[in-house]
Structure formats: structure tokens, C-alpha cells
Amino acid sequence: MKNTILQGKKVSRIFRQGSMRNTVLDQVDISIYEGDFTVIMGSSGAGKSTLLYALSGMDPVSGGKVFYKDREITSLKEKQMADLRAKEFGFVFQQTNLVSNLTLFENVAVAGYVGRKGSTEEIRDRAGRLLRQMKIDKAQNRFPSQVSGGEAQRAAIARAMVGKPGLLFADEPTGALNRSNTTEVLNLLTDLNRSGQSILMVTHDMRAAARGNRILYLEDGKVLDELRLPPYSEIREQNRESQVSGWLSGLRW
């Protein structure tokens, strides 16, 4: 039995504007397990990204509780939550959000200094290793404007990993990439998961979703269904995507 690393209990997110009330998350119960590559899918407006932001503490919840490693985090003060995110969570978004006047190496290292897991020398060594792992070490002294979108996204993954996060959050990480760069980024995420990294990813891309071993389907702010898969294997990729496609078709995706 896998350990639960993140859990949401009756998580709600309600937006109000005047007398209007929009319930985006409706008392969601969700458990994320250690070592899993968990994917959240759903139609546009289903609340996928909102759920990811609520679970990671980036956005407040309107109701319910979120627990990380059995510690309730919804009651943390802003500074405490920021400290937890810096030390325990990694984030990758559709847009890389790299600092334009810092090199790729500096972007990664600075994120490590914030989490402060190790000495300055250890963080710099870790940043260098990650850039090599992401196969962009030759571009480490370039600025974000001087590299391709795929290279920038790989740098963003290195930045997310430099603090040794317990959980990596990814929100549409391949949404702005072409097919070849998408494959490279998915391969990197798959390799990280194989090494033991827990990942929670939001995507609308079936190819990306097929990399997960557990896919949750969100509809009208609730988890409607889930699909469990064996660990990803390139050899069985086509059958895997067909299985995901059939499951989504049954949900009228």
C-alpha cells in the first residue's frame, strides 16, 4: 500500500462577483500517493488548474482541508505556506516563467537558494547536474530569450527539481510546445517519476496523460472517475494511448 503524500478533503473553491456565485470545485475528495505519476484531466472549465492551485496552496480554498504528509496546510499563514512551497513543492507551468535577465544556470540555482537544501556549493553542483540531466548544460550560460521553447521548459523542470521537492506540480507543461519538444519533456518527467519523484500533472493532452499511472477525470468541479495504468513503457505506448482514449470516450470527453 502506497503512502498518501497529499490529500484533499471536501475541497471547495467558490468565486463570487456581486450576487453571482460560481462553484468551480465542489467538495472534492482526492488522495495523491507517493511515487505516483498522477494526472488530472477534464473538459475546459472543469476546474483542473484550480484544483492543482488549491492543493498546492497557491490559491486559498473556500471550504475543506488539504493535508501534505498528514500535516494540514490549509490553516497555514501566508509566510508558512510560502516556506512549505519553497522547501517541499516544485512547480512547472505552461509558460516557463524564467527570469529574463538570468542565465539558465542562474534561474535554476536561485530557486535552490530559496529552498536552502544544502550549502551554496551543493546547490550549484545540483543545478549543474540537473542541467546535464535535462541535456541543456551546453546552454546553461544563455538567457531564456536565447534558447528554444523546449530548452526553456527543460530549464524550468530543472528549476522545479533543484530543491528536491517531495511533490512536483505540473500545469499543462507541454501546452506551448511542438510535438518533438513535447516528447522530450514527457520523457524527462517519466524518467523523474521512475527515479521515485511524485508528480501531479494537469493536462488536456491524451499523449501526456498516458504517461501517468493514475488518471483522474474532473467534471463540474468533482472527480467523476479514475483510470489506473501500469508504469509507462514506450514499447506499449500505442496500446496505452488507445486504452486512455477509450476510457475518455466513455466519459464523453
* pLDDT above 90: residue 162: yes
How many CB atoms lie under 10 A from the CB of residue 175? 16
pLDDT at position 237, please?
Answer: 84
pLDDT at position 36, please?
Answer: 98
Residue 99 amino acid letter = V
pLDDT at position 177, please?
Answer: 94
pLDDT at position 98, please?
Answer: 97
Give the tens place of pLDDT for each residue, 33-48: 999 999 999 998 899 9
pLDDT at position 116, please?
Answer: 72
Cα 42 to the center of its chain, rounded Å: 16
Q: What is the 3-state secondary structure (H, E, C) of the chain?
A: CCCEEEEEEEEEEEEEECCEEEEEEEEEEEEEECCCEEEEEECCCCCHHHHHHHHHCCCCCCEEEEEECCEECCCCCHHHHHHHHHHHEEEEECCCCCCCCCCHHHHHHHHHHHHCCCCHHHHHHHHHHHHHHCCCHHHCCCCHHHCCHHHHHHHHHHHHHCCCCCEEEEECCCCCCCHHHHHHHHHHHHHHHHCCCEEEEECCCHHHHCCCCEEEEEECCEEEEEEECCCCCHHHHHHHHHHHHHHHHHCCC
pLDDT at position 115, please?
Answer: 73
Q: Identify the residue with better confidence: 116 or 248.
A: 248
* pLDDT above 80: residue 81: yes
pLDDT at position 5, please?
Answer: 98
pLDDT at position 200, please?
Answer: 98
> What whole-number percentage of the chain has pLDDT above 70?
100
Give the tens place of pLDDT for each residue, 109-133: 999 998 777 899 999 999 999 999 9
Confidence band of 19 (pLDDT split at 50, 70, 90) = confident
Confidence band of 253 (pLDDT split at 50, 70, 90) = confident
Confidence band of 234 (pLDDT split at 50, 70, 90) = confident
Cell numbers of 152, please?
Answer: 526553456
Confidence band of 18 (pLDDT split at 50, 70, 90) = confident
Confidence band of 90 (pLDDT split at 50, 70, 90) = very high
* pLDDT above 90: residue 89: yes
* pLDDT above 80: residue 252: yes
pLDDT at position 235, please?
Answer: 80
